[in-house]
Amino acid sequence: MKPEITYEDFEKLDLRVATVLAAREHPNANKLMLLQIKVGEVEKQIVAGIRNHYTPEQLVGRQIVVVNNLQEAMLRGEQSQGMLLAASDASGVVLVRPDREVESGSTVK
């Protein structure tokens, strides 16, 4: 288990529901996928290590949960403006997502 955090630490995370607008394989990394997402009215790109678990066609139109305020990073030459949340076990990786469609940009608490 990781070290405990305070509620104030947790409050720093801006977790939001995003809609995947487009997805494509990263041209320079075998495990990465490039996702164009919409969070509320803002469109951005995230890079996610889910290429071995999802095809682009499976992702487009899906809602996912993202860390919206993660510091931007360049990953293998592509800009990533957030991070999607996923769970993994022996059976593979699954996306964390709402169990019904909600408004893009909705806050996750």
Whether pTM > 0.75 for this model: the answer is yes
Residue 91 pairs with which residues in a beta bridge?
none
Q: Which domains does the chain have, with CATH numbers?
A: 12-95 (2.40.50.140)
Condensed to tens digits (0 to 9), the pLDDT of residues 54-108 reads 999 999 999 999 999 999 999 999 999 999 999 999 999 999 999 999 999 999 9
Q: Which helix (H) or strand (E) holds 11?
A: helix 7-11
Condensed to tens digits (0 to 9), the pLDDT of residues 25-44 reads 998 888 999 999 999 999 99
Beta strands in 5-82 (DSSP E): 15-25, 33-39, 42-48, 63-67, 73-75, 78-80
